[in-house]
Structure 1
Amino acid sequence: MKRILLAVALSLSSILTALAAPPATFTEAKIVAKQKVYLDQASSSMGDLYCGCKWTWVGKSGGRIDAGSCGLKARKQEKREQRTEWEHIVPAWTFGHQRQCWQNGGREHCVKDDPVFQSMEADLFNLYPSVGEVNGDRSNFNYGMASGIAPQYGQCKTKVDFDQRVAEPRNEVKGLVARTTFYMFDRYNLNMSRQQQQLLMAWDKQFPVTPWELERNKRITAIMGHANPFVTGQRSWASGYKPSGDGVVSALPPRAVKTLPAEPKVISSSSAGAIVGNKNSHIYHLPTGCPSYAKVSSKNRISFGSESEATAAGYRKAGNCR
């Protein structure tokens, strides 16, 4: 009986993973993160990423910081200090600069034309609510030791060294940011400096996985369809580590095309039931279970006969499909 129950549980887990629908855009990711990952964290003892502040949710994905809960004081920007912002633990600037799209036209071009960048920008493992001013001050700085820097945000323990262009997060999240950084560089085949590797490997060992980090990983895994292997212990970063590139996808068909392909047909009212693709975002929508199916403008629509045909053309399923 135990073996049968275990088999059923494993089968159910596989089904849930297969049905996981990662968010397709950064905007969508923030909403999903609020609703399914950090829904009960606004008043938790862990608090926001950098200062451990509690907050109240505002709107679809925003928040209002409770400065009194963490002894927070603004350095310069009082309005930004009062709100939560979604921090990319590995900055978009960092992973964007390793993509050709950024060289061709910056972040806007990457968002529009590069499916790998789109995945990185919307990756839930890399997102965390943080105090707006600290998020802004951190900018695109690497993590490092801000030795000799006096407290800048009241009792908030995160420090930013503007001269050395490094940010040192509070001890409570150093392990989390290290393992998240390992995940991003591994999954998306990014290059990390030796100095940054050495620092993060030290933090990984000094600050082991916490119960909340495990729970966070579990929640995100249910949405993304895969875990952070550096949290689960399936992988370990060491000097000379070679990234797997599991998350690198191509916008081009995997097989060579010897003849010019036929122009994709535009979806019309008579083509109900076809899979709709958006030529701008390279996202596709199913006729059932995808709220945005009918919202793709006619000039951007193309149709596919199957999901495999869509993915072969470099498209991926919309994150809001149920």
Structure 2
Amino acid sequence: LESFLTDTMKTRNLLLALLILALWAATACSRPPQRNYLDSLRSYWQGVYPNGGETLYCGRKFRPFDRSVNVEHVYPMSWVTKKLRCGKREQCRHNSPRFNLIESDMHNMYPARKDVNQTRGAMAFGIIEGENHKYRGCDFEVDFRKRRVEPRPEVRGRIARAMLYMSDEYGLDIYRKQRKMLEKWNRQFPPDAEEKRHNRAVARIQGKPNPYIR
């Protein structure tokens, strides 16, 4: 009898362990995959710009592996770290799955010249009086005192739809005056063929399009 009870308890414990393992596996499979920005860069370049393309702010043509071009986050990541209160960017990558999800969203990513990307930093978009271009041959204006940048008209709608998407998708902040201008740009500059191509390519990778692009 003692041997029978011992075997029965072992069987029950084994079945219980298998049940727990099955439940854990089912839960793990139901979770959305965690995206990581650094890991997603290869997918971005290969899936969205396999043959090169055109930079966002200057409209300069580039080929694959152009070292003068990198990825610009239209909605700045420093705004995200401040919103999430997760520390500096590297800290957020280590301690915030939500930050990783936001940082790796390709609807917010466009190629840009490294120098222009660095100059823009986390400055907001706006209209700047005059035509004081920061870089020769590039319609990109900067007001360091007011911390504003003015992009060329051809990409203002593209910028607006990326910003508005990020705000809606992740509950990120856009100041009222900035949002009003972005909404105007969205109406004034409808998506062109290149923006629609970018949207389709990103949707194939991430499984979801930017709803502002129709």
- Number of equivalences: 183
Task: Answer yes or no: is 1:177 the counterpart of 2:159.
Answer: yes
CA RMSD of aligned residues (A): 1.6
Structure 1: runs of 5 or more not aligned = 1-20, 65-82, 233-322
Structure 1, residues 55-94: CA drift from partner, whole Å, max 9, x if none?
Answer: 2322xxxx14xxxxxxxxxxxxxxxxxx112100111001
1:305 equivalent in structure 2? none
C-alpha distance in structure 2 between counterparts of 1:22 and 1:39, whole Å: 24
Equivalent positions of 1:1-322 (< 5 A) are 24-42=35-53, 47-58=54-65, 63-64=66-67, 83-102=68-87, 106-232=88-214
2:21 equivalent in structure 1? none
Q: Which runs of 4+ in 1 moved over 3 A?
A: none
C-alpha distance in structure 2 between counterparts of 1:217 and 1:40, whole Å: 16
Q: Which has the higher helix share?
A: 2
TM-score (norm 1): 0.55
**More displaced stretch, 21-30 vs 137-146:** 21-30
Deviation at 1:137, TM superposition (A): 0.5
C-alpha distance in structure 2 between counterparts of 1:178 and 1:165, whole Å: 18
Query: Is the Cα contact below 8 Å between 2:80 and 2:172 reproduced in 1?
Result: yes
Deviation at 1:39, TM superposition (A): 1.4
Deviation at 1:148, TM superposition (A): 2.4
TM-score (norm 2): 0.81
Could you say what secondary structure the match of 1:51 adopts? coil
Query: Is the Cα contact below 8 Å between 2:74 and 2:108 reproduced in 1?
Result: yes
Structure 2: runs of 5 or more not aligned = 1-31
Identity %: 33
C-alpha distance in structure 1 between counterparts of 2:63 and 2:90, whole Å: 31
C-alpha distance in structure 1 between counterparts of 2:33 and 2:63, whole Å: 25
Query: Is the Cα contact below 8 Å between 1:23 and 1:123 reproduced in 2?
Result: no
Query: Is the Cα contact below 8 Å between 2:126 and 2:148 reproduced in 1?
Result: yes
C-alpha distance in structure 1 between counterparts of 2:128 and 2:39, whole Å: 34
